[in-house]
Structure formats: structure tokens, C-alpha cells
Amino acid sequence: MEFWLGTHEPAWLGRLNVPLFVSHRRLARRRSLPRAIGSWALDSGGFTELSMHGGWRTPREAYVEAVARYSEEIGKLAWAAPMDWMCEPIMLATTGLSVREHQERTVVNYLELRDRGPFVPVLQGWTLTDYERCVGLYEEAGVDLATLPLVGLGSVCRRQHSWEIGTIVGELSGRGISLHGFGVKKVGLAKYGHALASADSMAWSFRARRSPPLPGCTHKSCSSCAHFALRWRDELLAVLEQPDALF
């Protein structure tokens, strides 16, 4: 499984040679962009945008143009998330739409973007039945997810360690779908990381805010510290090699 280290520090793209996961919301505000020295992937920032506005305010064309700019100026962009619609209950309450409507909008957006950049499809839902229905929506649109190199699995971050997500991952990967788990942390990866093609997380920053600075660090908190993030990443990769150590 390939792990993408989440970061809110775009400058790390030019400093760290490990796979990074960076949000469009962090990059869009910058006039100048770093040149990447390693592979990275782009988060659309959809959860924040839907939470703030109850829908997508960013125009589709503006996002496509931004991704093209990142690909050219930063380089080494492996893939980008589409403008998908998450299905957590709190998100449904914010948008006033149903799970089915969020899924349909997610599929339509991928169809609009897929030939315009390195966009990957995303499966959205809440229950296993929901995700299976989302697979069906892609199939109805002529998209065979099992033939694609990567498919995002959305709406799992805040319940990533639950048995239900493990079942969902197992069922979908059993169909031959190469899944990327958004925001999957150590416990979740220890349980079902073997069934994922890749995952990302920036849980290191949350942990750093609640921990003293590392020896030698002069800042008050390591919540934006590359040394802390890399040490946390090493610990996570060790867990992936010996997942039983957590239990």
C-alpha cells in the first residue's frame, strides 16, 4: 500500500521526497508555487467547501485550470480528486440533499473532468449498500472502476477505524477495485490497509498539537513541523509492516 503524507504546508513539495497529499485550498491562494521533488496528489478541499457553503462555490472550469497549473508549475502530480460530494450525515444536513443526490453529483462531476486532467473517480456513500449503488451509477455511465488504476473511497475519515469501513473496503476491493482511503489513520490501516491500494492522512498534525515539541525543535508546537511529520510517517509504515502490534 502506498501512503501519502497529508500536509497543509505546500512548501514541503519542494523539500520532502516522500509522497505528499496537498489540498487545492492551500495551493489556490499562492502566486508562486514550489517545484516538487517527489510525487504528490491533490485533495480538492471538498469537505471544507461543502461545510462552509452547502455546495461547491468553486467553478468547475476554475478547478480544471488550477489542476493544469499545478501539473505544469509544480510537476510530479500523480492524481487529483474530483469535485465530489461527501455523504456524512452532518454534510447531508448542510446541503439538504440525499445520499443518492450526492452520489449522482459526484459521478457526473467525474465524467465532466476525467478527460481534462489526472482525475480519479471517487465512491461516496455511508452504508455498504450505498457504496454498491455508487458503483452501479458509474457502471451505468460506462465506467468500469475495476479497470482503473485508482478509485477514491470517500466519507470514511471520521469512522475510519470501525468494523463497518473494514467490511466496505473488503467488499469493494474484492470486486477488483483499487481503492484509495481518504484520511485513514493507523488503527484503520492496521485493520484493513492490506485491502487498500493507497491512503493518506495528516493525523500527525493533530497529534503534534497535543504533544510537546521534539527535542531540538524551537517552536512551541510541532503541528507544522516536517521532522514530526516524517517521524510519525515512519511509525505508521512500521505499523503497516506489523499491524498486530496495535492490538
What are the tens digits of pLDDT across the range 180-236?
Answer: 999 988 888 888 999 999 999 999 998 988 899 999 999 999 999 999 999 999 999
At 155 the pLDDT is: 93
At 21 the pLDDT is: 98
**244: confidence class by pLDDT, cuts 50, 70, 90:** low
**245: confidence class by pLDDT, cuts 50, 70, 90:** low
Sequence ranges of the domains in the chain: 2-246
Tell me the DSSP string of 155-224: S-GGGTTSHHHHHHHHHHHTTT--EEETT--HHHHHHHGGG-SEEEE-HHHHHHHTSPPPTT--SS--TT
Judge whether residue 161 has pLDDT over 70: no
At 136 the pLDDT is: 98
CATH code for residues 2-246: 3.20.20.105
Tens of pLDDT along 107-117? 999 999 999 99
Predicted TM-score of the model (pTM): 0.94
Query: Which of 5-9, 37-41, 163-167, 201-205 has the lowest average pLDDT?
Result: 163-167
d(CA 6, CA 19): 9
Judge whether residue 131 has pLDDT over 60: yes
Q: Round the average pLDDT of the chain to a whole number and report it.
A: 94
At 29 the pLDDT is: 87
At 186 the pLDDT is: 84
Tens of pLDDT along 11-36? 999 999 999 999 999 999 899 999 99
Tell me the DSSP string of 18-72: S-EEEEHHHHTT-SS-PPPSS-EEEE--HHHHHHHHSS--S-HHHHHHHHHHIII
Q: Supply the angle between the helices 163-173 and 128-140 in degrees, to the nearest 10.
A: 30
Give the CA distances from residue 86 to residues 44, 89, 210, 225, in Å, rounded to whole numbers and listed in that order: 12, 9, 28, 29
d(CA 111, CA 127): 24
At 247 the pLDDT is: 45
What share of the chain has pLDDT > 70, as a percent?
97
